[in-house]
Amino acid sequence: PTVQQASVNPDSERWLENLAGYYREYDSTLQREQRLLVDFGAEHIGELEKWFGARLNRQIAVPDLTQFGYRAEGGRFVVVAGKPAAQFLYSSENKELIQLVVAMTDLPERGGRLDQRGDVNIVHWRENGYAYAFVGKIEGQRLWRMADITWVKLKPV
């Protein structure tokens, strides 16, 4: 996606606030309890891909972020704006958390943007009926590189 600085957009404010809220809760649990709250653990990635694919009406593959130092920990089913969404969680050896959300949307396509909610950075875009977001406390441009390298793999087949 092309880098753009996000402007205030009322249709995306609630979505971004929810993503940041989810992220903070999972990050807090990881730091405090040394675990992540997931419906499907990393050992069940194949099952997770099939399950989420059926709910999102598409094939979906959990992106590999190991080149950035993050391993897949699993995923959860969430609801965004009344529609099903897949939430994938990744962690680093330093207990840094990355969240990737793929959600169905009726909103028009929009190129990638980097937004911030407090100490949480969010790289997000919409394409072909889906909204995507990479969320983390890491530096925004680093998060952008993750999204930029994996966005092609996230497109519906």
CB of 15 closer than 8 Å to CB of 135: no
**DSSP 8-state secondary structure symbol assigned to residue 156:** -
Q: In this predicted model, what pLDDT tens digit does every residue of 104-151 receive, in sequence order?
A: 998 899 999 999 999 999 999 999 899 999 999 999 999 999 999 888
The Cα 122–Cα 137 span in angstroms is 9
Nearest to 99 by CA among 49, 27, 34: 27
Please spell the DSSP secondary structure of 32-96, one letter per residue.
HHS----SEEGGGHHHHHHHHHHHTTS-------GGGT-EEEEEEEEEETTEEEEEEEEE-TT--
Question: What pTM, to 2 d.p., does this model score?
Answer: 0.84
Convert the pLDDT of each residue in 11-58 to its tens digit. 456 888 888 988 888 888 888 888 777 777 788 888 888 888 888 888
145 membership: H or E segment, kind and range: helix 140-154
